[in-house]
Chains A and B, each alone.
Chain A
Amino acid sequence: MKNWKGGVTLTVLRYDPRKSKEPYYQTFEAKATKDTTVLDALFQVLETQDYSLAFRYSCRSAVCGSCAMFINGWYRLACSTLISEIGRDIIVQPLPHMPVIKDLVVDLSTFFEKYEVIKPYVVPTKPSPEKEWIQSPKERSRINDSTDCIMCAACYSSCPSAWTGKKYLGPAALLQAYRFAADSRDGILHDRLEVLSSEEGVWRCHTIFNCTEACPKSLNPARFIESLKRTTTKQTLKARIPFLR
């Protein structure tokens, strides 16, 4: 492993909707050492072989969320995928089930619109204190992990319910919904649950767990969605059955 190096082949699914009807595969050669990532290899192609290749990138440290792609049949961040760990024959495709703008660049506008729908901000109903709101470590721990989503869209792209239900909010937006609903500083749980229990909310999740498997940050969106389902159910029961109030 220490001296891992040599040539690799990088097969990229190319597509430019303006120029061709069908996407096609194109294979390139690249050089790798044990530290070379798929993103590095894409740059080798872009800068020495095909100046027209399109992909997104920025931080190269698995935090900005730009470079989520479908690499060797799985949802990964190109920047944190070491070639020495996935083998010398690499197939890179854009995130599945997303409209392609060019090559590996997909249109995320719907993805981000759904994020906006869930009101991704704390709405306090009490006046702000002079200093910080007191939030106990226990209260803070309720939102642990749900705060760490980098919005790379891997989970959204992997979710069968999102493939077929175009209006379904999807795992990333629902994870964010949990994050704000569970924050001790937030005061509009009731309004939130109304949106979340609608037809395109939590009940469209069929607990397939693709999102959890796909997340390159090892988060568990399905768990948060399940938690929202429980809260929604409790609220509904309370409203309908008088002795539960």
Chain B
Amino acid sequence: MIVVGGGLAGLRAAIEASPFVDTAVISRVHPLRSHTKAAQGGINAALGNAEAGRDDTPEKHSFDTVKGSDFLADQDAAELMTRMAPECIFEFEHWGCAFSRTDDGKIAQRPFGGAGFPRTCYGADRTGLYLLQTVYEQTMKRNVKQYQEYFVTSLIVDKRSCKGVIALNIKTGELVPIVGKATILATGGVAWMYGVSTNAMINTGNGITIAYRAGVPLKDMEFIQFHPTGLYPSGLLITEGARGEGGYLVNNKGERFMERYAPKAMELAPRDIVSRSIQKEIDEGRGFENAYVHLDLRHLGREKIMTRLPGIRELCLLFAGLDPIEKPIPIRPAAHYTMGGIDCNLDCATALKGLYAAGECSCISVHGANRLGGNSLLDCVVFGKVAGEKAAKFAKSLPNDTDEKVIESQLAREQKRIEAFRKGNGREDPAALRDEMRSLLVEKVGMFRSGPELEEALKKIRALRDKFTHLRTLDVDTVFNLDLIRAFEVEAMLELAEIITASALARKESRGAHVRVDFPQRDDERFLKHTLAYYTPKGPKLDFSEVKITKYKPEARKY
């Protein structure tokens, strides 16, 4: 069995599968370099460890998740995730994960946005680092085979089922087939596509596009979360935990402006609401240098900042040259998370037999139109486990029936694709196309969208895709050829940009992270539906599917 992606979801899946089937993890970077490591604030589970959280339950976690999603989450999926959350967190704790502790020695929990209780388990502000270390250590303990620094270019598909992947060994330039009876994609999100982003530069969505090109629909791709507090100007993540610990958002008049937008929840309203509020303050002239507002932690005091938010202090010192103990932090919203992704069911299975997806690249959907902070690591941990179990079972049920000819022909096809890239004799530069796309998405497909602007963006993206077919000659070296990798990335990102924009254009309502200024209301009658985008050679074909509603009827979302 194959897992593509060495982050939290992928490694968790590998741990689950490895006792039952021969499992290999393929990753474009060493797994310990995965973007999970940059997650800071924490992971949600209704443990009730904090004093103010004693009455918390998985049901309440489930409701908060659904309400946070603006009712687009599938409620059976949210229920499953929140029900499995405590056991999955304890599993990590038993494996040795370095959580912070309460005075009585339990896993410490802090308040997070959109949550009724302090529910977010944390290890200082390095929760992602600790979780990733733990899963990586456990895969080592189990001797899971690893292909490090292999870049997957496509799936091997035979008779409508997935038989593995074709991957480029970055260190040698060799293109190899890696055959498996089941394949799990756990390749992360796409938010690096936006010019202002909290994400790692490897988050380019290649895993999502390989599923798409193999015929699997992508769901709800128009929902891109902007994190309220990206450090200005780089966009680096300043955790929601900073507000969870009591940080204030302040405009140039010295006002805690969240009072105007979410009088009850204030800074701890869900991310879509806080991000929009910050942007409004900036747009209406109440920001600093017309570009950012302040996140003020000074009143928390040195002690709390040093123990609960040491990583944030380090980031500010390194990248902004300021100490948050003494000065407020300049922040603005930055693209952060992909709510949508590869369409899959509660078993993480996709429409292509043998192909599974888990983590940020997948869309089950637990996050709907807006994800709550602390739910993404949870998504990885829970559905990584589910995917590993289900995919291993599926793989065990199959006989060995590898068709060498199919593999040969698909390997040859990918080889040709690389040759075509390399032999380009046009004038277009992949990095220049990428930069143009990244600014375009921020400007026209960002937090506030409109029909005409989306139309314009779509036209421009199609023009960029056309330009991509006239690439300049790429570097020909075999070893660590970043120029070739870049071409693969840009091809994928342009394809995804078209899907995101087309999906955003079709959704004529405002819901969660997707706001249409020309359709400012949520429209449950027409759009309480998932968007599905199917591959066609001419561009995405859109369709819709039902949202699963079990307990909670859609209601107005007030915080």
Contacts and interface: CB of A to CB of B under 8 A. Distances in A.
**Consensus secondary structure, chain A interface:** loop
Contacts of B104: 134
Given A61-B236, A80-B319, A143-B98, A132 B93 contact: yes
A52 B485 CA distance: 12
Contacts, number: 152
Contacts of A93: none
A162 B513 CA distance: 51
Contacts of B106: 131-132, 134
Contacts of A132: 89-90, 93-94, 99, 106-107
A150 B479 contact: no
Interface in A37-76: 46-48, 51-66
A134 B105 contact: yes
Interface string A94-112: 0000000111010010001
Contacts of A65: 32-33, 37
Interface in B74-97: 86, 89-90, 93-96
Given A58-B202, A131-B90, A136 B37 contact: no
Interface in B393-448: 429, 431
Given A54-B479, A137-B103, A101 B234 contact: no
A55 B107 CA distance: 39
A18 interface: yes
Central interface residue in A48, A51, A137, by most chain B CB within 10 Å: A51
Nearest to B89: A132
Interface string B110-127: 000000000000010010
B500 interface: no
B200 A58 contact: yes
Contacts of A59: 33, 35, 37-38, 200-201
Given A61-B38, A64-B38, A132-B106, A148 B480 contact: no
B137 interface: yes
B533 to A, nearest CB: 28
Interface string B296-330: 00000000000000010011001101000000000
A106 to B, nearest CB: 11
A164 interface: no
Given A121-B138, A134-B104, A52 B35 contact: no
B140 A116 contact: yes
B157 to A, nearest CB: 29
A151 interface: yes
B94 A128 contact: yes
A115 to B, nearest CB: 8
A121 B11 CA distance: 15
A63 B38 contact: yes
A102 to B, nearest CB: 5
Interface string A110-136: 001000100111101000101111111
Contacts of A223: none
A201 to B, nearest CB: 19
B100 interface: yes
A64 B7 CA distance: 11
A101 B479 contact: yes
Contacts of A102: 479-480
Given A35-B233, A128-B94, A135-B105, A101 B480 contact: yes
A139 B96 CA distance: 13
A185 interface: yes
Contacts of A31: none
Interface residues of B, number: 61
B483 interface: yes
Interface string A127-163: 0101111111101100100011011000000000000
A60 B235 CA distance: 10
A150 B36 CA distance: 12
Interface in A161-186: 180, 183, 185-186
Nearest to A116: B140
B483 A51 contact: yes
Contact of A148 (B129, B321, B431): B129
A81 to B, nearest CB: 9
B483 A122 contact: no
B182 interface: no
Contact of A18 (B474, B479, B481): B479
A16 interface: yes
B140 A150 contact: no
A61 B480 contact: no
B38 A122 contact: no
Contact of A120 (B34, B137, B315, B474): B137
B142 to A, nearest CB: 10
Interface string A218-229: 100000000000
Contacts of A136: 101, 105
A133 B94 contact: yes
B330 to A, nearest CB: 11
Interface in B189-246: 200-202, 233-234, 236-237
B171 interface: yes
Contacts of B140: 116, 120-121
A64 B123 CA distance: 17
Central interface residue in B314, B315, B480, B481, by most chain A CB within 10 Å: B480
B171 to A, nearest CB: 6
A150 B480 CA distance: 23
B517 to A, nearest CB: 31
B433 to A, nearest CB: 11
Contacts of B101: 135-137, 139-140
A182 B233 CA distance: 40
The 4 closest A-B pairs by CB, nearest first: A122-B96, A134-B105, A54-B480, A47-B431
Given A54-B480, A128-B94, A140-B101, 20 more contacts: A16-B479, A18-B479, A47-B486, A51-B474, A59-B200, A59-B201, A61-B200, A62-B314, A63-B37, A65-B33, A120-B133, A120-B137, A124-B94, A131-B47, A132-B106, A137-B102, A140-B100, A147-B133, A148-B129, A150-B129
Interface of A: 1, 16, 18, 35, 46-48, 51-66, 80, 82, 101-103, 105, 108, 112, 116, 119-122, 124, 128, 130-137, 139-140, 143, 147-148, 150-151, 180, 183, 185-186, 217-218
Interface of B: 29-30, 32-35, 37-38, 47, 86, 89-90, 93-96, 98-107, 123, 126, 129-130, 133-134, 137-138, 140-141, 171, 200-202, 233-234, 236-237, 311, 314-315, 318-319, 321, 429, 431, 474-475, 477, 479-483, 486
23 contacts: A1-B321, A35-B233, A47-B431, A48-B431, A52-B477, A52-B483, A53-B482, A54-B479, A58-B29, A60-B200, A61-B319, A64-B38, A101-B171, A101-B480, A102-B479, A105-B480, A108-B30, A121-B134, A124-B94, A132-B90, A132-B99, A147-B123, A151-B32
